[in-house]
Chain A
Amino acid sequence: MDNNTTNHQPQPTAYPPHPTTTTTTPPPGGAPSPTPFHHLLQQQQQQLQMFWSYQRQEIEQVNDFKNHQLPLARIKKIMKADEDVRMISAEAPILFAKACELFILELTIRSWLHAEENKRRTLQKNDIAAAITRTDIFDFLVDIVPRDEIKEEAAGLGGIVGATASGVPYYYPPMGQPAAATGGMMIGRPAMDPATGMYVQPPSQAWQSVWQTSATEDGSYGSGGASGGQGES
């Protein structure tokens, strides 16, 4: 698969696109037609880039380093569970509080993509298993999710690919704009139903709470853009 030729990075950032998206395992059945698959992968990549872009902005604006979303003492305990760890600088748990927040967010986003592919609104353990399988840097987590959940995921991918021309795991398309939008910060393009090749309801506004302050087209969030709220929040 030749992701790199179509992989355009919106801005010259110091943060390369998430490595995973360029190394995602091709579907077992073999990608029948790389283009739609590519395209959706690219969208996913863009979304993740948006996520990181937003996080970077947030970090520039942080003023409060004292109040965290995760308890520092607990973080420290977890660090100290490692016998080789002797002393911990005061800043390390603070940094981990931020790092874990990013980690939880990223893992959740990726898991949610799988839930949406399966048209569910409830995030389940197998969604997390899927995210772990699909993301190289999450390899260290494989032992946490049972093998059968992962196998299910792989079979699912194979099934989808085998069955449809578009071939894809419906990687999460961006929200907001009508189908014609290209590249950049597309948000709102409805998900394509691989079975019919038609655009179905837009993916949920998973990002709304995150992107609202940074989105350039806020209007599209309310109704999910052109496709409106078909069964959508």
Chain B
Amino acid sequence: ENNMANTLRGKVREKFKNAKITQGEKSLTQHIDKVCQCSKTKVSSEEGLSFFILTGEEGSALDQSSEQKSVNDSYSKHSSLGANLQNVAESQDENFMEKVIFTDLLEVKAAEYEDDQEQIKKQQANIFVPSSSPVDSQNKLPKGMIPRILEDEGFYIQRKPEIYKKTCNKMENRLLKLEEGKCWFEESGELISLPTPIKESWSSLLNISRESLNPALKTTYRKAVKYDLGSSFREKMENQREVYQLDLNIVGLQFSHHHLFNQEQVLCARLLQLYEYFQDRQQQNLPQLLYEKLKALTNATKLANENSEINQLTRKSLQDYYWQISNTKQLYDLEREKDFSLLRSIIRTWKQIKSLRQWQGFTSTPIKLQVQRNKYAQEQEQMSEISQTEKKTKGKALNEENQEKLSYLGAEFEEIEIERIKPITLMPQLSFTAELTNLSKCSLHEQKRRAKIQKLKYFIKIFYNDKQVSRTSVSSLQCDFKVMFQQIFNMQLLYWPETICLKVYEVSKSTSLLAKLYLPLPNYTELKGKTVLEYAEFGSEKPVTPKDGEVRSNVPFILEGSGTEELCLLTSGKLSYSLSWALDENGIPLTPLSQPSRSAYCSVLRNVNARGVPGIPWLINAQKLFEWSNEVRIDPNNPEYSDLMEFIMYMRHKEQVIPKYFRLEQLQDEFNFVSEEEMKKSKRFQLLQLRNAGQLDIFLLQQMPAYDREIPDSVFQESESQIEKDVSLSDVNSITAQRINSANFLKKMRRLIMKRIAKISKFNLSDIVNDYEEIASTSQLTDAICKFVEPQRKLKPQRKERKKVTAQTVSDGDLKILIRIVRAYNIPTRKTIVNRVLDMPNSLMSPISCLRQKDTIQSAASDEILNEDAVHPFVEVSFQHTIYQTNTTSGSHPCWNEEIKVDFISPGHDYSFSNLSKIKDYIYINIFDEMMIEKHEVHCLKSCSGHSYVRKNWLGSIIFPFSALLQQSEISGTFQVNIPPVLLGYTWSKTYISSKEDYNWQNLKECTFLNIFATIEPQISYVTYNPKPDKFSDQIDVLQRAQIFKKNCKAMFPNRRIITTVFNDEGKQILVTRYIKALNPPRQLLDMLLHDSSATLDIISRFVSLIPFMPDTLDENDGFDIWLTSERCISLAIGNKEEHAILLCNFFLYLGKKAFVLLGTSVLEGPVAYVLTQETDEYLLWNPSTGQHHKQFDPFCPLQSVDCLFDDRNVWFNIQQNNIRMAVHFDYSKESFWKQLLPNNFQETAQSIQPEEITYTDTNKSMVEDLKNRIERTLKCKMMEWRPQQPTRWNRQCSSSLRQILPKLEVGIGSFASDEKESEFERLLQLYWVVGFPIQMPYTDLQSVIDAVYQTGIHSSEFPQTEFALAVYIHSYPSNILSVWVYLASLTQYK
């Protein structure tokens, strides 16, 4: 039973037990009731077994067992009865199991086996194995054929692939078995096969490793480098090298003055300096050179004189010689004089030292001077004596000949000259051999001083491009005031070297910066091999007070011995160093080679500028340079002129025609389609290239004509005139010609200078990438929610910042100028008399009654109320020749409140800020009076619908440039309207008194004001450039300071204007203060009004305002201002706003005023420059563009903000919180209000760049007359041109009377006398109703005059009977400065 349990699984075992129980029961029942063999028990036993043996038959019996289960249960009740019989039942059970399970289910069989031999036999019946024995060729070929071997017959047979013979045989045998197998064999009886595909390898291999690589193929390993475009060494497509190296060798410091110097050392330093200078001169030995030259010249003269025949040529050269001799002699004398004085001062100083040493009782410097008599000089003296005698005899001989007066003169020269030659015979010798007095023997002060010296230590920090690179070790000061470093620094460069700066630090108790010095960058040719030391001088202005007998620094003291001499020495010294480019291991210099041509250009410029040749023009005009060099006779061997000579040589060489026979690509010509010249001639190509260079404005948008014949020559004229400016202007008036020329000259000059400054304008990321807007940020969400909660209308609404739009997103039609005309105040009204007369056209009125009536009306207050309505003003806005108009209202205080949308299309469809700022157009806002005139004719010509003619009379205008709008993005406020001084037919309303108390201004009654608001929609984002100043011409410290100052100021108030440095017309950077200098105004103006000083100021400011303005654009001037000197400004008769202000300021200074130039912004004009003058109790603001002056609290002064002030000493930047003009304190001495550039005690060494005096030329009267006639004629023609429909009648009588009035207007500016007192004019007024006005402007060109007249719209009268009158007057000031007056009137006859 236990065995059974082991073989079966545990689970099964339990079930089996159950089965046993039933078995037991069964056996019990069998025992008890043997007779009864019912099927029931059988089933139950089978049911127990079915749990672990499931055969097919018994499975089917399971159904029955389930039925029988209940029966089994009933039996189990009896089980207790048969418990004793259990054992018997189990023994029976085992046998039963064996029988049932194993025999029924398993079968055992023997392993199958087949014999190998049999197997092979079976296979052989199916498988063919070809034999590997060779096959007879007979079998392979068709019967009777002899194998033919082609190779033997001489055919080329390609090699066959090698196959193992046995394999081949097998294949052959196999193929022969096949029916069609014979076709696989060739004629030779072999298997057909392709040539072998395997190529044999080359026998000779290249020996790559041993041979050196072609240098062109060399590669270098480069580190992955993060580079910054623009400022690093510019990489080209073929980048050459990346690492450059500078070697800086700092040798040491040598103080020429130090605060620890004692007096002896001061003198000693001076002696050393003098001695060095002396040695320098000695080395140059100019007297000797000049002496030699003199000798050579006299010899040459001698030779020339000896020649008996004197023709024209030799005479000329003789004359030349004499001239040169006298010239050289003067120079020679001068040089010698210098030498002597130098020697004298050396000896004097030495004597001072000696006396000082005696006085103080000790020696603290080892210096010693000995004077020797020079041997060489003695020889020379002898030599000169010899020559002297020789020449004397010659001279006599010449005298005897006495052929020419010239030669006689020459001889005389010789004698004088020879007498003077006395070379210096004394040679000072400096040595450091004097014994120093021992420390113990010195005075107490001296001992302390020496102890201090030993404590001082120095080190130097090296800054490359403003970044600290390295520093030297700390080295102590030696007794002779030297500091030795002897260190070499190798700097590997990645960025362009801009500045190399050394900062010297002093270490005593604390470390302090002593001096800062900038080293010049080495030339590209200065390489490591160079051993010459260079010296850089430095100084410090830090004052140090003395303690122990030492002298001081930057504190005045009196030198012992020379009682009167007061000295103030700054700490100064020399740094010896060498700076050079390093070489790499192959000896190739590590130098950037990118701009050799540019450096050459600069060096030429440097040398020549120093000699006072006018700056730019000569470089362009080589011819002038040659002339100049011939005139001056520069020595071609003088190394100083080498640059210039090279340049001249190069220019000469360039002029020569290149010989035809040398060609690099010889055959090129033969294959060419066309010649070079033909290519150049092609107009289309020229045009395309011009367009590419951005010099073509007209064709920018149009398509290029495809054929040359379609291109008119006129297209080039403009561009050509830009290149070659010398257009002949014979036809034009000389004044006009001057205007055109100077405008062109300025343009050209600016372009040249800009080129030299080489502006790098970088884009910001925001300029290129348009940031997408976040769809919903949390703040927006809260905003949206808060909207519901918020009150509908806030009590104090806040202005929302308008969204700025980048230029890229703007396209045509998106941009609009919005101008809201709100209201106007105090518009002049028509004279009542006129209305009355018009109303009753046929009434006959005597002149006297008319006059009387006028008087009564003007005086009577009651009539004025009636008069109030007598004007119907409307406003016209015009921009770029499109005109927009408001409705007409009535009254002299009209309110329009209308918005005008001015459509606007940018030229070139480019809406970038830089392009928009190039637009120079003005926005004109003109006020007109609309007037209805009743029709009296039966037939009407044009406007039949109404019964009246409409005419408009110009009353005044406001003009502002588009650029001002662009920059400020909005212009709003009340502005004074420019009203002509006389408005015929109009009078000032008397009712406007309401706001009198607000403005205590005298003439307020005669001013019209207009309230406008203008803006650009959408707002264009303002691109700001970050100009990179890199070129300093001179005085680096000051300019650097100015730059830093500007940077700081911009950081504080980015929106305020500040200009500290500008470029002059030579492209040098210059401090603005150097422009200010008292300069004389024209004499005539001063003479005019001697008695009245304020009138003088007025007339001078008027004179300045008459100088034409240069149309300025925004981006060009941003960061790179180019200012002319005042003299240039007057002689060219053109200038920008700043130049005008400077000129006015200079004039005021001349008159003894305290004047400043003020930079600020104006609402209407954008950035402006004003002149500020300090009166006794107030400040006056002068507008140089109009000549008017305003008080600070004048509400209608257009100046809005005050940002910066400068005069000849300093620049002040406004750091007050509020820079509105009204709120600004002008007291610049307060440092909390005004930040100043230079400290108070700063000594400005450089003088002004302005000339001493301005010379004025007289204006050509006849030319003025000519111009006047020209203008008048042109205007008349234009008037007729503008009225194509109607006839234009000219009233000559009126014109002539106007002509008489005009000159008085110019004289009486400010106080305009009523012109109606003219008797002749009076008479006209009775016959006609006259409307007219004079316009005044500075003369720039004819077109501007025409435009101004056109703006008034006087021509647009439709009334058929209108007559016109026109008069032109030009008032001339000196230097072609003109004031143009145009008097326009339209007359209507009373009916």
Answer whether A and B are interacting partners.
no
